[in-house]
Structures are given as structure tokens and as C-alpha cells.
């Protein structure tokens, strides 16, 4: 694994997880809570960007983790990248923020539905969906929007320690 320039050195399981995500463009990270899933997927994104396979990353997360987890992780450990937290009072303000030319756009889950067309138009090369348990209902509006956004994106990572939900035969 290449030498990492951030504040902390990746742990062996994080290096292995990041390697897994780079080799498996559509993958799921179901590691236990507090094992460093966020750092692991950002490490994978870092390598993919530096190798020229990815230019822009969209991260979908809960409102409570947009800044406290994702922005903090990027600020603390990935200094080479620009990022924006796409959260504002109005949809128009969110659209304006999304238009910024940054490496990472951190978007609230509800932004998936609200900004679906704009997100697709930005042509992200990588999509990370944190807390993917809210995508388990394949008929939900959020799942449908996410599917439209992610279907042509080369790298998609779903994250969550508890990706479970009501299952029907049609979910397969």
C-alpha cells in the first residue's frame, strides 16, 4: 500500500478493506461499529483519485455525520482534497453548493431525492453511501433515486454495520 501522508497511519484491516474496495468497484463495507469504515473508504477513494481512476466523489450520509464524521475525516487525514458539505435551508442553496468544483461532495441522504438530476449531471466517478440500511426497501423513493444516481457510476460503496431490513422475494 502506498505511503499515506495523513495524520494517522492506516491500520492493517483498513489497508485490506481499502484494497478490497479498489479491486471491487461495487462493494459493501459491513465492518462492525467503531472499526474505521469511514477512513477505510476514504483511503480507497484517495488511492483511486491518485491513480487517475476517479476525479469526483459523492458521499451520502445522515445529517448528523456530514460534518462531524465526513468533513472532519477529510480535514484531519486527506489534506490534498477540496470538499463541500451540501446542506442548506433551501433546495436552491443546495444546488448552488453542489455546483462548486470540489473533489468530494458530502450530501445528506434526503439530497439524493431533492438533487437527483443535478447529482447525475455532475457525473461523479465514485459514490459512497453511509448507513445503507435505509436503502433496503427497493420500492422506496430514496432507493429509486439512489439507483438512478449510481447505475452508471464506476465505483459504488455501501457502508453500514447493520444493513438489514424487510426482505421480500422481489428484493433479490
What are the residues facing 126 on neighbouring strands?
A: 57, 155
When mean pLDDT is compared across 3-12, 43-52, 117-126, 160-169, the lowest value belongs to 160-169
Q: How far apart are CA 170 and CA 151, in angstroms?
A: 19
Of 169 and 29, the one with more pLDDT? 29
Grid cell at residue 62: 445522515
Is the pLDDT assigned to residue 172 strictly greater than 80? no
pLDDT band at 170 (very low <50, low <70, confident <90, very high): low
Predicted pLDDT of residue 3: 61
The residue among 155, 129, 132 whose CA lies nearest residue 44 is 155
pLDDT, residue 28, reads 93
Ranking 19-23, 41-45, 139-143, 165-169 by mean pLDDT, the lowest is: 165-169
Per cent of the chain over pLDDT 70 is: 90
CA dist 114 → 76, 107, 120, 139, 171 (Å): 29, 10, 12, 17, 24
Segment 94-107 mean pLDDT = 95
Of 34, 18, 21, nearest to 161 (Cα)?
A: 34
Backbone angles phi, psi at 39, to 5 degrees: -60, -40
Q: What is the pLDDT of residues 28-45, one digit of tens each?
A: 999 888 889 999 999 999
User: Which residue would you say has higher pLDDT here, 3 or 49?
Assistant: 49
pTM of whole model > 0.85? Answer: yes
Taking the CA atoms of 84, 88, 94 and 100 in sequence, report the sign of the dihedral they define: negative
Q: What is the CA radius of gyration of the chain?
A: 15
- CB 73: neighbour CB atoms within 10 A? 19
Per-residue pLDDT of 78-88, as tens digits, reads: 988 999 999 98
Amino acid at each position: 500500500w502506498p505511503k499515506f501522508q495523513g495524520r494517522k497511519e492506516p491500520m492493517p484491516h483498513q489497508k485490506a478493506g481499502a484494497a478490497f474496495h479498489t479491486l471491487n468497484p461495487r462493494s459493501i463495507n459491513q465492518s462492525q461499529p467503531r472499526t474505521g469504515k469511514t477512513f477505510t473508504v476514504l483511503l480507497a477513494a484517495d488511492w483511486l483519485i491518485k491513480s487517475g481512476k476517479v476525479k469526483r466523489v459523492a458521499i451520502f450520509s445522515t445529517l448528523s455525520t456530514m460534518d462531524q464524521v465526513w468533513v472532519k475525516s477529510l480535514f484531519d487525514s486527506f489534506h490534498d482534497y477540496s470538499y463541500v458539505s451540501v446542506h442548506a435551508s433551501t433546495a436552491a442553496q443546495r444546488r448552488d453548493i453542489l455546483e462548486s468544483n470540489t473533489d468530494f461532495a458530502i450530501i445528506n441522504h434526503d439530497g439524493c431525492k431533492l438533487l437527483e438530476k443535478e447529482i447525475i449531471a455532475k457525473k461523479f466517478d465514485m459514490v459512497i453511501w453511509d448507513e445503507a440500511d435505509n436503502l433496503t426497501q427497493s420500492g422506496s423513493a430514496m432507493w429509486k433515486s439512489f439507483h438512478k444516481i449510481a447505475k452508471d457510476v464506476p465505483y459504488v460503496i455501501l457502508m453500514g454495520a447493520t444493513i438489514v431490513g424487510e426482505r421480500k422475494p422481489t428484493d433479490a
